[in-house]
Structure 1
Amino acid sequence: MNTTAAQIPNHLVWAILATLFCCLPGGIVSIVYAAQVNGKIAAGDLAGARDSSDKAKKWAMWSAIAGVIVAVLYVVLVMAMGGLGALSNSGY
């Protein structure tokens, strides 16, 4: 196998982790692109494999970022609702 082809990562692990723990829709897109990398390398389409690899990485990264943002917003919302509940119950 060509040494250049071996240097194109498929980012499948990151895509799966992003799907499981962060953002399901973006993670699925990342898995699809990651799954295309090895097939394109086998077919000799190194430019296509590199493009799919870059897209898989981008989608996994953005899925992880979206998951963190949603988690932070959820915590802020729960804290705000808990604070409002404590304020409304303090009058009794």
Structure 2
Amino acid sequence: MDSNFNDSQQSQFNQETVPDNNLVWAILCTVLCCLPFGIYAIICSTKVNKLWLEGDYEGAKKASADAKKWSIYGAVVGVILMIVYFIFMMVVGVSSFSRGY
């Protein structure tokens, strides 16, 4: 019986911790950057804890990585769209100014 107790203790020490679900980054991406990518990142991040508790450790790690990946994609797309919008507004402003409107 003592050996079973030691085995269970050893398995607890070997067991990894729950991966970060990246929910904060997904929400920030949704609110500040790109809605579609952010929503998908939120969906992925909410799966992490559920999969981990079900024992699907690889699935939880993949969901965590997907949430992080889609949050980054959304942030990059959001920044690119802001830059394009800024350039567009500068071109429109300069052309309006040169016409005398």
Q: CA deviation at 1:5?
A: 2.8
Gaps of 5+ in 2: 1-11
Q: Does 1:56 align with 2:67?
A: yes
Q: 5+ unaligned residues in a row in structure 1: which ranges?
A: none
**What is the TM-score when the length of structure 2 is the normalising length?**
0.83
Count of residues in Structure 1 that have an aligned counterpart in Structure 2:
89
Task: Name the CA distance, whole Å, in 2 between partners of 1:79 and 1:4.
Answer: 52
Q: Distance in 2 between matches of 1:19 and 1:51?
A: 20
Question: Which deviations, in whole Å up to 9, do the C-alpha atoms of 1:37-85 show, x marking residues without a partner?
Answer: 0001111111000000010000000000000000010000001100000
Secondary structure at 2:62 match in 1: helix
Query: What TM-score comes out, normalization by structure 1 length?
Result: 0.91
Q: Which residue of 1 aligns with 2:54?
A: 43
Matched, 1:84 2:95: yes
2:78 corresponds in structure 1 to: 67
Q: Give the aligned partner of residue 37 of structure 2.
A: 26
User: What is aligned with 1:5?
Assistant: 17
Aligned-residue RMSD, C-alpha: 1.5
Structure with more contact order per residue of length (Cα contacts < 8 Å, sep ≥ 6): 1
Query: Percent identity among equivalent residues?
Result: 37
